[in-house]
Structure 1
Protein backbone atom coordinates (compact mmCIF):
# COMPACT_ATOMS: atom_id res chain seq x y z
CA UNK A 1 0.00 0.00 0.00
CA UNK A 2 2.84 2.41 0.86
CA UNK A 3 4.65 1.70 -2.42
CA UNK A 4 1.49 2.47 -4.43
CA UNK A 5 1.09 5.83 -2.63
CA UNK A 6 4.71 6.78 -3.43
CA UNK A 7 4.20 6.00 -7.14
CA UNK A 8 1.16 8.27 -7.26
CA UNK A 9 3.10 11.06 -5.56
CA UNK A 10 5.87 10.80 -8.19
CA UNK A 11 3.35 10.68 -11.05
CA UNK A 12 1.58 13.74 -9.66
CA UNK A 13 4.88 15.59 -9.26
CA UNK A 14 5.87 14.68 -12.84
CA UNK A 15 2.52 15.90 -14.19
CA UNK A 16 2.88 19.14 -12.23
CA UNK A 17 6.35 19.76 -13.70
CA UNK A 18 5.11 19.08 -17.26
CA UNK A 19 2.23 21.54 -16.74
CA UNK A 20 4.62 24.21 -15.43
CA UNK A 21 6.85 23.79 -18.49
CA UNK A 22 3.85 24.13 -20.81
CA UNK A 23 2.67 27.29 -19.03
CA UNK A 24 6.19 28.78 -19.13
CA UNK A 25 6.50 27.96 -22.85
CA UNK A 26 3.13 29.60 -23.65
CA UNK A 27 4.04 32.67 -21.59
CA UNK A 28 7.34 33.04 -23.48
CA UNK A 29 5.51 32.75 -26.81
CA UNK A 30 3.07 35.48 -25.80
CA UNK A 31 5.65 37.88 -24.40
CA UNK A 32 8.45 37.40 -26.93
CA UNK A 33 7.95 39.55 -30.06
CA UNK A 34 7.66 37.63 -33.28
CA UNK A 35 10.40 38.21 -35.81
CA UNK A 36 9.22 39.97 -38.94
CA UNK A 37 10.55 42.19 -41.62
CA UNK A 38 12.10 45.51 -40.65
CA UNK A 39 9.34 47.29 -42.54
CA UNK A 40 6.65 45.56 -40.46
CA UNK A 41 8.51 46.46 -37.26
CA UNK A 42 8.75 50.14 -38.26
CA UNK A 43 5.08 50.16 -39.26
CA UNK A 44 4.13 48.58 -35.92
CA UNK A 45 6.00 51.30 -34.02
CA UNK A 46 3.86 53.94 -35.72
CA UNK A 47 0.64 52.49 -34.27
CA UNK A 48 -1.13 54.15 -31.35
CA UNK A 49 0.80 53.97 -28.07
CA UNK A 50 -0.90 52.76 -24.88
CA UNK A 51 -2.53 55.57 -22.93
CA UNK A 52 -0.79 57.20 -20.00
CA UNK A 53 -1.00 55.19 -16.80
CA UNK A 54 -1.21 51.86 -18.63
CA UNK A 55 1.69 49.41 -18.29
CA UNK A 56 1.76 47.47 -21.58
CA UNK A 57 2.89 43.82 -21.27
CA UNK A 58 2.04 42.33 -24.65
CA UNK A 59 -0.07 42.85 -27.75
CA UNK A 60 -2.75 40.41 -28.82
CA UNK A 61 -3.35 40.33 -32.59
CA UNK A 62 -6.41 38.80 -34.22
CA UNK A 63 -7.63 38.33 -37.74
CA UNK A 64 -11.18 39.22 -38.66
CA UNK A 65 -12.07 35.52 -38.89
CA UNK A 66 -10.72 34.87 -35.38
CA UNK A 67 -12.71 37.79 -33.96
CA UNK A 68 -15.82 36.60 -35.80
CA UNK A 69 -15.41 33.10 -34.33
CA UNK A 70 -14.99 34.45 -30.77
CA UNK A 71 -18.04 36.72 -31.00
CA UNK A 72 -20.27 34.12 -32.65
CA UNK A 73 -19.31 31.56 -30.01
CA UNK A 74 -20.07 34.03 -27.21
CA UNK A 75 -23.46 34.91 -28.78
CA UNK A 76 -24.27 31.37 -29.97
CA UNK A 77 -27.48 31.19 -27.94
CA UNK A 78 -28.78 34.38 -29.60
CA UNK A 79 -27.84 33.00 -33.08
CA UNK A 80 -25.72 36.04 -33.97
CA UNK A 81 -23.92 35.91 -37.32
CA UNK A 82 -21.08 38.33 -38.03
CA UNK A 83 -19.70 39.30 -41.45
CA UNK A 84 -17.43 41.94 -42.97
CA UNK A 85 -19.01 44.11 -45.68
CA UNK A 86 -17.06 46.28 -48.15
CA UNK A 87 -13.84 45.53 -46.22
CA UNK A 88 -14.69 48.18 -43.63
CA UNK A 89 -18.01 47.40 -41.95
CA UNK A 90 -18.96 44.77 -39.41
CA UNK A 91 -22.40 43.39 -40.16
CA UNK A 92 -24.28 41.60 -37.40
CA UNK A 93 -27.39 39.57 -38.25
CA UNK A 94 -29.59 38.63 -35.35
CA UNK A 95 -33.06 37.05 -35.32
CA UNK A 96 -35.41 38.97 -33.00
CA UNK A 97 -38.86 37.96 -31.83
CA UNK A 98 -41.31 40.80 -32.37
CA UNK A 99 -45.01 40.32 -31.59
CA UNK A 100 -44.54 36.56 -31.66
CA UNK A 101 -42.82 36.54 -35.07
CA UNK A 102 -39.13 36.06 -35.78
CA UNK A 103 -37.70 38.97 -37.75
CA UNK A 104 -34.11 39.33 -38.95
CA UNK A 105 -32.31 42.43 -37.68
CA UNK A 106 -29.17 43.61 -39.48
CA UNK A 107 -26.72 46.06 -37.91
CA UNK A 108 -23.76 47.56 -39.79
CA UNK A 109 -21.02 49.27 -37.82
CA UNK A 110 -17.73 50.89 -38.76
CA UNK A 111 -15.23 50.08 -35.99
CA UNK A 112 -12.59 52.56 -34.80
CA UNK A 113 -9.84 52.29 -32.19
CA UNK A 114 -9.95 55.56 -30.24
CA UNK A 115 -6.88 57.42 -28.96
CA UNK A 116 -7.76 56.58 -25.34
CA UNK A 117 -7.68 52.83 -26.07
CA UNK A 118 -11.45 52.37 -26.27
CA UNK A 119 -13.42 51.12 -29.28
CA UNK A 120 -16.18 53.00 -31.10
CA UNK A 121 -18.63 51.25 -33.39
CA UNK A 122 -20.31 53.89 -35.59
CA UNK A 123 -23.69 52.67 -36.79
CA UNK A 124 -23.90 52.94 -40.57
CA UNK A 125 -27.13 51.06 -41.23
CA UNK A 126 -29.89 49.17 -39.46
CA UNK A 127 -32.68 47.18 -41.01
CA UNK A 128 -35.45 45.18 -39.44
CA UNK A 129 -37.05 42.62 -41.74
CA UNK A 130 -35.61 44.46 -44.75
CA UNK A 131 -36.90 47.89 -43.67
CA UNK A 132 -34.18 50.49 -42.99
CA UNK A 133 -34.67 52.47 -39.78
CA UNK A 134 -32.84 55.61 -38.51
CA UNK A 135 -29.77 54.78 -36.42
CA UNK A 136 -30.54 57.17 -33.57
CA UNK A 137 -34.00 55.65 -33.01
CA UNK A 138 -32.64 52.10 -33.09
CA UNK A 139 -29.83 52.92 -30.65
CA UNK A 140 -32.29 54.67 -28.31
CA UNK A 141 -34.43 51.51 -28.30
CA UNK A 142 -31.38 49.31 -27.72
CA UNK A 143 -30.22 51.56 -24.89
CA UNK A 144 -33.59 51.31 -23.13
CA UNK A 145 -34.14 47.57 -23.75
CA UNK A 146 -30.73 45.89 -23.55
CA UNK A 147 -28.93 44.98 -20.36
CA UNK A 148 -25.36 45.64 -21.52
CA UNK A 149 -22.19 45.28 -19.43
CA UNK A 150 -20.94 48.41 -17.64
CA UNK A 151 -18.08 48.80 -20.12
CA UNK A 152 -20.50 49.18 -23.08
CA UNK A 153 -22.01 52.63 -23.63
CA UNK A 154 -24.73 53.15 -26.23
CA UNK A 155 -24.70 56.76 -27.50
CA UNK A 156 -27.80 57.35 -29.68
CA UNK A 157 -27.05 61.05 -30.29
CA UNK A 158 -23.60 60.14 -31.67
CA UNK A 159 -25.01 57.10 -33.52
CA UNK A 160 -22.37 54.85 -32.00
CA UNK A 161 -21.63 52.25 -29.37
CA UNK A 162 -18.46 52.73 -27.33
CA UNK A 163 -16.77 49.77 -25.69
CA UNK A 164 -14.60 51.00 -22.82
CA UNK A 165 -11.87 48.41 -23.25
CA UNK A 166 -9.94 50.09 -20.42
CA UNK A 167 -12.62 48.77 -18.05
CA UNK A 168 -12.52 45.16 -19.26
CA UNK A 169 -10.61 43.07 -16.75
CA UNK A 170 -9.20 39.97 -18.48
CA UNK A 171 -7.48 38.55 -15.45
CA UNK A 172 -6.66 39.57 -11.95
CA UNK A 173 -5.55 43.17 -12.43
CA UNK A 174 -5.02 42.85 -16.21
CA UNK A 175 -6.87 45.14 -18.60
CA UNK A 176 -7.04 45.80 -22.34
CA UNK A 177 -6.73 48.77 -24.66
CA UNK A 178 -7.50 48.77 -28.37
CA UNK A 179 -4.45 49.47 -30.51
CA UNK A 180 -5.93 49.10 -33.99
CA UNK A 181 -9.08 47.82 -35.66
CA UNK A 182 -8.53 47.82 -39.40
CA UNK A 183 -10.81 45.45 -41.30
CA UNK A 184 -9.29 46.28 -44.71
CA UNK A 185 -5.84 45.13 -43.60
CA UNK A 186 -7.26 42.34 -41.40
CA UNK A 187 -5.45 43.89 -38.41
CA UNK A 188 -7.10 43.83 -35.00
CA UNK A 189 -4.66 44.47 -32.15
CA UNK A 190 -5.25 44.87 -28.43
CA UNK A 191 -2.78 45.83 -25.72
CA UNK A 192 -2.87 43.76 -22.53
CA UNK A 193 -1.36 45.17 -19.34
CA UNK A 194 -2.00 46.74 -15.95
CA UNK A 195 -3.20 50.15 -14.89
CA UNK A 196 -0.50 51.97 -12.93
CA UNK A 197 -1.55 53.49 -9.62
Structure 2
Protein backbone atom coordinates (compact mmCIF):
# COMPACT_ATOMS: atom_id res chain seq x y z
CA UNK A 1 0.00 0.00 0.00
CA UNK A 2 2.76 2.46 0.92
CA UNK A 3 4.64 1.78 -2.34
CA UNK A 4 1.52 2.49 -4.46
CA UNK A 5 0.93 5.78 -2.67
CA UNK A 6 4.54 6.85 -3.19
CA UNK A 7 4.45 5.95 -6.89
CA UNK A 8 1.19 7.86 -7.37
CA UNK A 9 2.63 10.89 -5.57
CA UNK A 10 5.83 10.81 -7.65
CA UNK A 11 3.79 10.42 -10.85
CA UNK A 12 1.61 13.41 -9.96
CA UNK A 13 4.69 15.44 -9.05
CA UNK A 14 6.31 14.56 -12.40
CA UNK A 15 3.18 15.65 -14.28
CA UNK A 16 3.14 18.98 -12.41
CA UNK A 17 6.82 19.59 -13.15
CA UNK A 18 6.27 18.86 -16.88
CA UNK A 19 3.26 21.24 -17.05
CA UNK A 20 5.22 24.03 -15.33
CA UNK A 21 8.20 23.49 -17.66
CA UNK A 22 5.99 23.62 -20.76
CA UNK A 23 4.38 26.87 -19.55
CA UNK A 24 7.76 28.43 -18.75
CA UNK A 25 9.18 27.47 -22.13
CA UNK A 26 6.14 29.05 -23.83
CA UNK A 27 6.40 32.22 -21.76
CA UNK A 28 10.14 32.63 -22.15
CA UNK A 29 10.49 31.71 -25.83
CA UNK A 30 11.74 34.62 -27.96
CA UNK A 31 9.33 36.61 -30.10
CA UNK A 32 10.04 36.65 -33.82
CA UNK A 33 10.65 40.21 -34.97
CA UNK A 34 8.80 41.39 -38.08
CA UNK A 35 9.37 44.71 -39.85
CA UNK A 36 6.46 47.08 -40.43
CA UNK A 37 4.77 46.33 -43.77
CA UNK A 38 5.44 48.75 -46.60
CA UNK A 39 2.52 50.62 -48.14
CA UNK A 40 1.44 49.58 -51.63
CA UNK A 41 2.10 52.06 -54.45
CA UNK A 42 -0.91 54.17 -55.26
CA UNK A 43 -2.74 53.83 -58.59
CA UNK A 44 -4.74 56.49 -60.42
CA UNK A 45 -8.09 56.60 -58.58
CA UNK A 46 -11.20 58.63 -57.92
CA UNK A 47 -11.50 59.48 -54.22
CA UNK A 48 -14.58 59.55 -52.02
CA UNK A 49 -14.19 61.09 -48.57
CA UNK A 50 -16.31 59.57 -45.81
CA UNK A 51 -16.83 60.70 -42.25
CA UNK A 52 -18.21 58.13 -39.82
CA UNK A 53 -18.77 57.56 -36.13
CA UNK A 54 -18.04 54.82 -33.61
CA UNK A 55 -21.55 53.39 -33.66
CA UNK A 56 -21.61 52.80 -37.43
CA UNK A 57 -18.05 51.55 -37.55
CA UNK A 58 -18.77 49.11 -34.68
CA UNK A 59 -21.54 47.60 -36.81
CA UNK A 60 -19.16 47.15 -39.76
CA UNK A 61 -16.43 45.66 -37.53
CA UNK A 62 -18.92 43.23 -35.96
CA UNK A 63 -20.10 41.96 -39.35
CA UNK A 64 -16.51 41.51 -40.55
CA UNK A 65 -15.41 39.69 -37.37
CA UNK A 66 -18.39 37.32 -37.54
CA UNK A 67 -17.10 36.14 -40.94
CA UNK A 68 -13.51 35.83 -39.72
CA UNK A 69 -14.40 34.03 -36.46
CA UNK A 70 -15.72 31.08 -38.44
CA UNK A 71 -12.06 30.28 -39.31
CA UNK A 72 -10.82 30.45 -35.70
CA UNK A 73 -11.35 28.43 -32.52
CA UNK A 74 -11.11 31.54 -30.33
CA UNK A 75 -14.01 33.88 -29.65
CA UNK A 76 -13.28 37.60 -29.72
CA UNK A 77 -15.02 40.93 -30.30
CA UNK A 78 -13.77 44.43 -31.04
CA UNK A 79 -15.51 47.63 -29.95
CA UNK A 80 -14.70 51.27 -30.56
CA UNK A 81 -15.24 53.38 -27.48
CA UNK A 82 -12.76 56.06 -26.32
CA UNK A 83 -10.16 53.42 -27.23
CA UNK A 84 -10.26 50.27 -29.32
CA UNK A 85 -11.23 47.38 -27.02
CA UNK A 86 -10.70 43.72 -27.86
CA UNK A 87 -12.59 41.23 -25.67
CA UNK A 88 -12.52 37.49 -25.81
CA UNK A 89 -11.77 34.25 -24.10
CA UNK A 90 -9.44 31.38 -24.73
CA UNK A 91 -9.54 27.76 -23.62
CA UNK A 92 -6.86 26.76 -21.13
CA UNK A 93 -7.19 23.11 -20.17
CA UNK A 94 -10.93 22.79 -19.45
CA UNK A 95 -11.51 26.41 -18.44
CA UNK A 96 -12.27 29.57 -20.45
CA UNK A 97 -10.18 32.60 -19.49
CA UNK A 98 -11.50 36.09 -20.31
CA UNK A 99 -9.21 38.83 -21.58
CA UNK A 100 -9.46 42.48 -22.56
CA UNK A 101 -6.92 44.47 -24.54
CA UNK A 102 -7.20 48.22 -25.12
CA UNK A 103 -5.48 50.09 -27.93
CA UNK A 104 -5.01 53.69 -29.00
CA UNK A 105 -5.57 53.97 -32.78
CA UNK A 106 -3.46 56.19 -35.02
CA UNK A 107 -4.06 56.94 -38.69
CA UNK A 108 -0.69 57.03 -40.46
CA UNK A 109 0.26 59.34 -43.33
CA UNK A 110 0.23 56.36 -45.72
CA UNK A 111 -3.45 55.66 -44.84
CA UNK A 112 -2.77 52.57 -42.75
CA UNK A 113 -3.62 52.27 -39.05
CA UNK A 114 -1.53 51.43 -36.00
CA UNK A 115 -3.17 50.21 -32.80
CA UNK A 116 -0.80 50.90 -29.90
CA UNK A 117 -1.43 48.64 -26.91
CA UNK A 118 -2.54 50.62 -23.84
CA UNK A 119 -3.94 48.13 -21.35
CA UNK A 120 -4.32 44.42 -20.79
CA UNK A 121 -6.32 42.23 -18.48
CA UNK A 122 -6.29 38.41 -18.62
CA UNK A 123 -8.60 36.97 -16.01
CA UNK A 124 -7.19 38.55 -12.87
CA UNK A 125 -3.57 38.09 -13.90
CA UNK A 126 -1.32 40.73 -15.42
CA UNK A 127 0.76 39.17 -18.16
CA UNK A 128 3.46 40.81 -20.27
CA UNK A 129 1.88 42.61 -23.23
CA UNK A 130 4.30 41.08 -25.72
CA UNK A 131 3.40 37.56 -24.52
CA UNK A 132 -0.34 38.14 -24.89
CA UNK A 133 0.05 39.68 -28.36
CA UNK A 134 2.31 36.77 -29.39
CA UNK A 135 -0.28 34.30 -28.14
CA UNK A 136 -3.05 36.15 -29.99
CA UNK A 137 -0.97 36.21 -33.18
CA UNK A 138 -0.30 32.48 -32.95
CA UNK A 139 -3.81 31.44 -31.86
CA UNK A 140 -6.10 33.54 -34.06
CA UNK A 141 -6.63 33.62 -37.77
CA UNK A 142 -6.18 37.23 -38.79
CA UNK A 143 -6.37 38.45 -42.38
CA UNK A 144 -3.02 38.95 -44.14
CA UNK A 145 -3.37 42.72 -43.87
CA UNK A 146 -3.40 42.60 -40.04
CA UNK A 147 0.06 42.20 -38.51
CA UNK A 148 0.46 41.58 -34.78
CA UNK A 149 3.81 42.95 -33.63
CA UNK A 150 4.37 41.73 -30.05
CA UNK A 151 7.81 43.24 -29.45
CA UNK A 152 6.54 46.70 -30.48
CA UNK A 153 3.28 46.18 -28.54
CA UNK A 154 1.15 47.14 -31.50
CA UNK A 155 -1.09 45.91 -34.29
CA UNK A 156 -0.43 47.23 -37.79
CA UNK A 157 -3.45 47.32 -40.11
CA UNK A 158 -2.46 47.61 -43.77
CA UNK A 159 -5.67 49.07 -45.16
CA UNK A 160 -3.95 49.40 -48.54
CA UNK A 161 -3.68 45.59 -48.73
CA UNK A 162 -7.29 44.91 -47.66
CA UNK A 163 -9.29 43.24 -50.46
CA UNK A 164 -12.57 45.00 -51.19
CA UNK A 165 -15.12 44.65 -53.98
CA UNK A 166 -14.34 46.32 -57.35
CA UNK A 167 -10.69 46.92 -56.37
CA UNK A 168 -11.90 49.63 -54.00
CA UNK A 169 -9.20 50.73 -51.57
CA UNK A 170 -9.53 52.51 -48.27
CA UNK A 171 -7.19 54.78 -46.36
CA UNK A 172 -7.63 56.20 -42.87
CA UNK A 173 -7.36 59.97 -42.69
CA UNK A 174 -8.29 60.61 -39.08
CA UNK A 175 -9.27 58.48 -36.09
CA UNK A 176 -10.22 60.48 -33.00
CA UNK A 177 -12.40 58.19 -30.91
CA UNK A 178 -12.80 60.63 -28.03
CA UNK A 179 -14.37 63.21 -30.39
CA UNK A 180 -16.15 60.47 -32.41
CA UNK A 181 -14.46 61.79 -35.55
CA UNK A 182 -13.46 59.01 -37.94
CA UNK A 183 -12.56 59.85 -41.55
CA UNK A 184 -11.63 57.63 -44.45
CA UNK A 185 -10.93 58.05 -48.12
CA UNK A 186 -12.22 55.37 -50.47
CA UNK A 187 -10.29 55.13 -53.72
CA UNK A 188 -11.82 53.60 -56.82
CA UNK A 189 -9.08 52.83 -59.37
CA UNK A 190 -9.68 54.08 -62.88
CA UNK A 191 -8.09 52.61 -65.96
CA UNK A 192 -6.60 54.89 -68.56
Normalised to the residue count of structure 1, the TM-score between the two structures is: 0.65
Q: Does 1:55 align with 2:45?
A: yes
Alignment of 1:1-197 (within 5 A): 53=43, 55-76=45-66, 78=75, 80=77, 82=79, 84=81, 87=82, 89-194=83-188
Displacement after TM superposition at 1:195 (Å): 5.3
Displacement after TM superposition at 1:156 (Å): 1.2
Counterparts of 1:100 and 1:54, CA distance in 2 = 53
- CA pair 128-59 structure 1, distance change in 2 beyond 3 A: same
- CA pair 156-195 structure 1, distance change in 2 beyond 3 A: farther
* Contact in 2 for aligned 1:92/1:108 (Cα 8 Å): yes
Counterparts of 1:123 and 1:158, CA distance in 2 = 9
Normalised to the residue count of structure 2, the TM-score between the two structures is: 0.66
SS at match of 1:80: strand
Show the counterpart of 2:31: none
Counterparts of 2:58 and 2:93, CA distance in 1 = 30
**More moved, 158-167 vs 131-140:** 131-140
Counterparts of 1:81 and 1:165, CA distance in 2 = 17
* Deviating 4+ runs (over 6 angstroms): none
Counterparts of 1:129 and 1:90, CA distance in 2 = 19
- CA pair 196-131 structure 1, distance change in 2 beyond 3 A: farther
Displacement after TM superposition at 1:83 (Å): 5.0
| Structure 2, unpaired ranges of 5+ | 1-40, 70-74
Count of paired positions: 144
**More moved, 103-112 vs 56-65:** 56-65
Show the counterpart of 2:4: none
